[in-house]
Amino acid sequence: MTHHTESVAPEGVSIDGKTIALLVTDGVELLELTEPLAAIRGAGGTPKIVSPKKSSLQAMKGDWEHADHFDVDHQLGTVSASDFDALVLPGGTLNADSLRIDEKAQEFVSGFFSESKPVAAICHGPWILTEVGQVSGRRMTSYAALRTDLSNAGAQWVDEEVVVDGGVVTSRTPKDLDAFNRVFLELVAARA
């Protein structure tokens, strides 16, 4: 299935040979999945959808409007952080709420921190980072509704388009996707 997207890789950024996991399930915000997929491919990387779902998942436009279905590349539990170079955590309320209480998802995400690999989370995506203890002391942003959760978990929450703290990139909404993708890909490219 082809999706039209304006998002392309930043000029001169190459992540050739790198494989990026996108951890998602039903209810993922459509653009927060399709635009990073296109940006990763545009920079020469290989995106892989990892999900608790076996074969396909349902994306959404907002929380109520059903969008496209996407094939799952790897079921959660069959791969680990060591199989990838970086991780993207798209938002969508239902997607993020479901993943943050999934023990296999928590284990998968924790692996990227154990291996010091880049993690990018947008909108509701950072929710799972509170569950795996990766928020305290970090400067972060997210969808405004997560501000209290992240702050209570020890984050310094800011209202900015894109924030980088160590190897973690966060953004607020689909409007921030161009900056989110650019900064994330530059971070992945810098880690030769």
Q: Is the pLDDT of residue 63 over 90?
A: no
Catalytic option among 3, 4, 66, 123: 123
Provide the pLDDT confidence category of residue 60 given band limits of 50, 70 and 90.
very high
| 123 part of the active site | yes
Find the mean pLDDT for residues 145-173: 97
Rounded CA separation 151/164 (Å):
16
First to last CA, the chain: 31
- In this prediction the pTM is 0.94
* Topology of domain 19-185, CATH: Rossmann fold (3.40.50)
The pLDDT score that the predictor gives to residue 145 is 96
Chain position carrying tokens 């509170």: 130
- pLDDT band with cut points at 50, 70 and 90 for residue 4: very low
* Over residues 119-132, mean pLDDT: 98
How many Å apart are CA 184 and CA 89, to the nearest integer?
12
| Helix spans in 24-166 (H) | 30-42, 93-100, 103-114, 127-131, 147-152
Domain extents for the chain?
19-185
User: Residue 58 pairs with which residues in a beta bridge?
Assistant: 69
Selecting among 3, 4, 69, 124, the annotated active-site residue is 124
Give the mean pLDDT of 116-132: 98
pLDDT of residue 73 exceeding 90, the answer is yes
